[in-house]
C-alpha cells in the first residue's frame, strides 16, 4: 500500500472559490479566507469572464503579478493582490481578481512563509523560499547570460517540474517536466502557448536538475544577462504530489492514471502536438465527472467541457473520460501527455488508513 509523509495535504496546497465585490483597497478590499495557511504562491483566475490569470508570490511581493497566458513583464498594482494573510489574502478592485458579483478561483501553495533567503549553491546566487516537506520552492535570480549557469533551488530533492518566467521584460514561460520525453533536459514547453515540446539546448543547457541545482543556458527567457527571473520548483512527494506521463486511448472509457492519492488539482498537457493546458480541481467540480475547465494558456472564462476533456477524480488517481472528438483531444487522444497533480488526500495515510473515493 502507498503511504505518505503528509497526512493533511491542505496544509500545503488548497483551492478556494470566492465571489468578487469590486471593493478597492482604500475602502477595505475583499479579504478572502479559508485557505488554511498564509499562501506563498497564489494563482487567481476569474471564472466568469475573459481576464488574465494572476500569479503572485511572497518572494517578489504580493502586489507584483505575472500572467500565465501572457508573455508580459511583471506588473505592479495594490488593487490586485494587496497582501498575503494568515488564512488567505486580500484583493482590491482589480477586474482580474475582484470584479463585483463574478466568480473566482484561487490556487494556493505554501513555501516557508518568508520572502526568501540567499542561496549560494549555484554559480548564480538565488533567493529561495522553500518547503522541503511538500517539495516546493520559489526561486528568484538575476541572469548572467552564461551557458551552464546553475541556480540553487533549496529542495534537497531533484525537481520534477520547474516553471520559469522573465520578470523585467516580455518573454515566454519556460517549463521543465521530468516526464517530458526520454531526455527532458533537452526540451522545453511554454505555459503561455499550446505549443508542443520543442528541442532547445539554450534553455536547460541539456543538463538535468540535481537535488540542489537547476541549470540554464543562454536563452533570454531563462538567463539573459542582467534580467530578473522567478522560478517555481516542485519535487514529487508520495501521497501529496505526482508528476508523470500517460498515453491517451482515444475513447470515452479513457486512460486511468495512478497518482497514489486522491487528486485535488490536475494540470495536463499533450506534448507531441499543439494542445491547450487543461486545468481541473476538486472545488469547481465537487463530484465526478469533472467538467469545469480553465486553460492556463488562455484568458478564457471557465467552460463546461461536456463530453470532451472530462475527468473522474478517484481515491488513487484520475481517469480520462473525454472522447475522441473536439477538444477532447487535449487530454485523451492516442498520444503522450504529461500531468501535474496535488492531493486532496493520500491514498493511504502514514497510519495505514485508506482514503475514500468521492
Count CB neighbours of 86 within 10 A: 10
pLDDT digit string, tens, across residues 50-88: 999 999 999 999 999 999 999 999 999 999 999 999 999
What rounded mean pLDDT belongs to the chain?
A: 94
Model confidence at 312: pLDDT above 70: yes
Q: Report whether 247 contacts 335 (CB < 8 A).
A: yes
Omega prior to 200 cis, within 30 of 0 = no
Determine the Cα–Cα distance for residues 71 and 38; give it in Å rounded to an integer.
Answer: 28
Q: Radius of gyration of the chain from Cα atoms?
A: 19
**DSSP 8-state code for residue 222:** H
CA torsion, points 92, 93, 96, 98, in degrees to nearest 10?
80
Residue 329: enclosing H or E segment and its boundaries?
helix 329-332
User: Residue 228 has what pLDDT?
Assistant: 98
Residue 325's pLDDT band, with cuts at 50, 70 and 90, is: low
Determine the Cα–Cα distance for residues 261 and 4; give it in Å rounded to an integer.
Answer: 9
% of the chain at pLDDT higher than 90: 87
When mean pLDDT is compared across 17-31, 223-237, 312-326, the lowest value belongs to 312-326
pLDDT digit string, tens, across residues 215-264: 999 999 999 999 999 999 999 999 999 999 999 998 888 999 999 999 99
User: What is the mean pLDDT of the segment spanning 332-336?
Assistant: 91
Q: How many residues are listed for the chain in this entry?
A: 358
pLDDT digit string, tens, across residues 142-169: 999 999 999 999 999 999 999 999 999 9
User: Residue 327 has what pLDDT?
Assistant: 45
Q: Report whether 12 contacts 134 (CB < 8 A).
A: yes
Residue 1's pLDDT band, with cuts at 50, 70 and 90, is: low
C-alpha cell at position 193: 502557448
pLDDT digit string, tens, across residues 266-278: 999 999 999 999 9
Supply the pTM of this predicted model: 0.96
C-alpha cell at position 332: 485523451
Vertex 130 angle, CA 124 and 132, to 5°: 120
Amino acid at each position: 500500500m502507498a503511504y505518505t509523509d503528509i497526512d493533511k495535504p491542505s496544509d500545503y496546497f488548497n483551492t478556494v472559490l470566492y465571489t468578487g465585490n469590486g471593493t478597492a483597497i482604500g475602502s477595505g478590499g475583499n479579504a478572502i479566507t479559508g485557505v488554511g495557511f498564509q499562501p506563498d504562491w497564489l494563482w487567481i483566475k476569474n471564472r466568469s469572464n475573459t481576464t488574465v490569470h494572476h500569479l503572485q508570490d511572497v518572494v517578489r511581493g504580493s502586489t507584483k503579478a505575472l500572467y500565465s497566458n501572457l508573455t508580459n513583464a511583471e506588473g505592479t498594482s495594490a488593487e490586485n493582490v494587496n497582501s498575503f494573510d494568515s488564512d488567505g489574502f486580500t484583493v482590491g478592485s482589480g477586474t482580474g481578481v475582484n470584479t463585483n458579483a463574478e466568480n473566482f478561483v484561487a490556487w494556493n501553495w505554501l513555501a516557508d512563509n518568508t520572502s526568501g533567503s540567499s542561496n549560494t549553491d549555484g554559480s548564480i546566487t538565488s533567493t529561495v523560499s522553500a518547503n522541503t516537506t511538500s517539495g516546493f520552492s520559489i526561486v528568484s535570480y538575476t541572469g548572467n547570460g552564461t551557458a551552464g549557469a546553475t541556480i540553487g533551488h533549496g529542495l534537497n530533492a531533484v525537481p520534477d517540474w520547474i516553471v520559469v518566467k522573465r520578470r523585467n521584460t516580455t518573454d515566454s514561460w519556460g517549463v521543465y517536466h521530468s516526464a517530458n520525453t526520454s531526455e527532458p533536459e533537452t526540451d522545453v514547453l511554454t505555459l503561455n502557448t499550446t505549443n508542443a515540446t520543442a528541442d532547445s539546448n539554450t534553455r536547460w543547457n541539456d543538463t538535468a536538475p540535481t537535488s540542489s541545482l537547476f541549470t540554464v543556458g543562454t536563452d533570454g527567457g531563462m538567463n539573459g544577462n542582467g534580467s530578473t527571473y522567478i522560478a517555481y520548483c516542485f519535487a514529487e512527494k508520495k501521497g501529496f504530489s505526482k508528476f508523470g506521463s500517460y498515453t491517451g486511448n482515444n475513447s470515452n472509457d479513457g486512460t486511468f492514471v495512478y497518482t497514489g492519492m486522491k487528486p485535488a488539482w490536475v494540470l495536463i498537457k499533450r506534448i507531441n502536438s499543439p494542445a491547450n493546458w487543461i486545468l481541473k480541481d476538486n472545488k469547481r467540480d465537487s463530484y465526478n465527472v469533472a467538467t469545469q475547465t480553465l486553460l492556463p494558456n488562455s484568458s478564457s472564462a471557465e467552460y463546461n467541457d461536456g463530453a470532451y476533456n472530462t475527468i473522474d477524480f478517484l481515491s488513487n488517481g484520475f481517469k480520462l473520460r473525454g472522447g475522441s472528438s473536439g477538444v477532447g483531444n487535449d487530454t485523451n487522444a492516442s498520444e503522450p501527455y504529461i500531468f501535474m497533480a496535488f492531493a486532496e488526500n493520500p491514498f493511504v495515510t502514514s497510519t495505514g488508513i485508506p482514503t475514500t473515493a468521492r
